Amino acid sequence: MLHDLFTPSVQHALDLVGIFVFAISGALLAVRKNFDVFGIAVLAEVTALGGGLFRDLVIGAVPPAAFTDLGYFLMPLIAAGLVFFLHPEVERTQTAVNVFDAAGLGLFCVTGTTKAYDYGLGLTSSAVLGLATAVGGGVLRDVLANEVPSLLRWDRDLYAVPAIVGAAMVALCIRFDMLNAWTSGAAVVTAFVLRLFAMRYHWRAPRAWNRRSSAREAPEKATAQ
């Protein structure tokens, strides 16, 4: 029954939006790394579909949705084409891209948690997989681009926390039998808004105790490029 949270077509449209905006972020990084047109397409696909692919392999949903739904595959190619021709314009709208990326984060943490639970995982595991769905593509993007995943770096605004909150909200709603289109939507919006606030006010997570004024700061910053 979890499936009819949204009508299938609404759900599918939301998925495609999330895939598109994640693909944009992958394609933009590829342009910055000076990759060729195929590198741009590959990084767009990996960023957009990597998180869901990991989730589907873990829950045993093979072949993964990324390989059964042609729209999931084509959307990143469209994003890659847009960025290929219009990247200065797209970069100028970085704020818009960030807002859409936040929307993708909110959507994916909710749909990922729901799908994992549908496949029989426990509530905690489902929430963890929801988080992995939301952030996995970005981690793969950074690994392929040979960079430290921005998810892990202290000098980036909070990214995991909004997704954790959204996934936890879904898990709690399932626990108390309250999951429906409204509560799911509320979880999406909460994650989305938290991420917007994190970017607006540069919320950051603490580093390990005693690291804050550490002597290693300088070299670390250097590697952080």
Kindly list the residues in this chain that would bind a second copy in the complex (CB under 8 A): 30-40, 42-43, 53, 57-60, 62-64, 67-68, 70, 73, 83-88, 119-122, 124-125, 128-129, 139, 143-149, 151-154, 160-161, 204-211, 216-217, 220, 223-224
Least separation in angstroms between CB 185 and a second copy: 26
Least separation in angstroms between CB 215 and a second copy: 12
CA atoms within 13 A on the CB side of 76: 28
Q: Select 67 or 182, whichever has its Cβ closest to a second copy.
A: 67
CA–CA gap between residue 110 and residue 97 (Å, rounded): 20
Q: Select 12 or 153, whichever has its Cβ closest to a second copy.
A: 153
Least separation in angstroms between CB 81 and a second copy: 10
Least separation in angstroms between CB 159 and a second copy: 8
CA–CA gap between residue 109 and residue 176 (Å, rounded): 19
CB count in 10 Å sphere of residue 145: 18
Judging by beta carbons within 10 Å of its beta carbon (0-12, 13-18, 19+), is residue 36 exposed, middle or buried? Answer: exposed
